[in-house]
A = this chain, B = another copy of it.
Amino acid sequence: MQALILAGGSGTRFWPLSRKRRPKQLLALDGERSLLQATVDRLAPLVAPESVWICTTERLVDAVRAQLPEVPAPQILAEPEGRNTAPAIGWSLVSMPPAIRQGTVVVLPADHRVGDAEGFRASLAAAAEVAQRDDRVMTLGVRPRWAETGYGYLQLGDDIGGARHVVRFREKPDAATAERYFQDGQHLWNAGIFVFRGSTLLSHLQRFEPAIGKGLQRIESSPERTAEIYPLLPSTSIDYAVMERLDDIATLPLDCGWSDLGSWEALAEVIPGDADGNRCRGDVLAVEARDNLLYAEQGTIAVVGVEGLVVVRDGDTVLVLPRERSQEVRRIVDALRSDQRQDLL
């Protein structure tokens, strides 16, 4: 089995730690290893680093290579320009030798967290078995732990050979719908983890998105023209381009402490709290303070008498906001963009 890790993201939800040249997947948010490194580590007993492929961007490729010396350098692919996941996955597959891409490939994001790595691998192995046996595209859905409105959902159907048929991909729901999905037991969070034969996925992509399919064929026959052709591929997600259009996709549920770590709040939830509920990282001093996320990447954070805050300190910046508003860090990033503060982006 090959693993293809999508590591081209440039999210800003962990600003000030995440920056253009240091996006979330390259950060060690909840441990010693970066989320990307942890993803490779987690796969290793099942998929050795020699069988790992990384799709990232020109801007990040040197940093990715430095973080992953165990992955063969030619398997670390640099998109000339980010074009969303459908081109990224398609191009990565055509970059694999044809004999390799006949086999099973798992695609997964570089910036998620998994509490139970062994359970994760067991689910992945089970999904790979179905994918191989039925030549079926499989996805791993996460059993909802609350009524999240920030994720897409997979609607479960009948049993197909030990897996569950995915009746439909559901967009991010409103609160009432999310509550219903959460209660009915018939929906999973879409975690963006897929398992398939590479050649099968490629043929689906060619069928549903011929413009991408043709572009990829031209790149495969003339790889020296990648920089010219790739930026012209339609920018679209693999969910939209392929997954939502397949009528025989199936899923296995993942129960492994999964989190997409989508915000400072999500990170707070996975860092163990101290006696006062403070979740601390780095050199932190808290006096009569409760339920804060205090994250000192560099230097020292000292707080007195505050509650429910995120305080993050890195080399040049400090961010303070209420935990329940941690999504709003994007407003800071927007303001920095409109102020052209390249030094802080």
Contacts and interface: CB of A to CB of B under 8 A. Distances in A.
Nearest to A343: B300
A321 B304 contact: yes
Nearest to A335: B285
Given A305-B321, A320-B311, A322-B305, A335 B300 contact: no
Contacts of A344: 300
Interface string A297-319: 00111111110010101011111
Interface in A306-342: 306, 309, 311, 313, 315-322, 325, 328-329, 331-332, 335-336
Can you tell how many copies of this chain the complex includes? 2
Contacts of A315: 299
Looking at chain A's contact residues, the main secondary structure is strand
A316 B300 contact: yes
Given A299-B318, A309-B320, A320-B311, A304 B328 contact: yes
Nearest to A294: B320
Given A300-B317, A300-B344, A317-B300, A306 B331 contact: no
A318 B313 contact: yes
A252 B47 CA distance: 84
Chain A interface extent, by class: 20 to 34
A16 B283 CA distance: 14
Given A331-B287, A332-B285, A335-B285, A301 B318 contact: yes
B331 A304 contact: yes
Contacts of A16: 300, 302
A20 to B, nearest CB: 16
Contacts of A299: 315-318
A302 B319 contact: yes
Contacts of A329: 304
B285 A336 contact: yes
A285 B319 CA distance: 9
A6 B306 CA distance: 36
A282 to B, nearest CB: 11
A299 B343 CA distance: 11
B302 A325 contact: no
A321 B292 CA distance: 12
Contacts of A309: 306, 320
Contacts of A311: 318, 320
Given A299-B317, A302-B317, A305-B325, 12 more contacts: A285-B332, A287-B332, A300-B344, A301-B318, A304-B320, A304-B332, A305-B321, A305-B322, A306-B309, A306-B321, A311-B320, A313-B318
Interface of A: 16, 285, 287-288, 299-306, 309, 311, 313, 315-322, 325, 328-329, 331-332, 335-336, 344
18 contacts: A285-B336, A287-B331, A287-B332, A300-B317, A301-B318, A302-B317, A302-B319, A302-B320, A303-B320, A304-B320, A304-B322, A304-B328, A305-B321, A306-B309, A306-B320, A309-B320, A313-B313, A320-B320
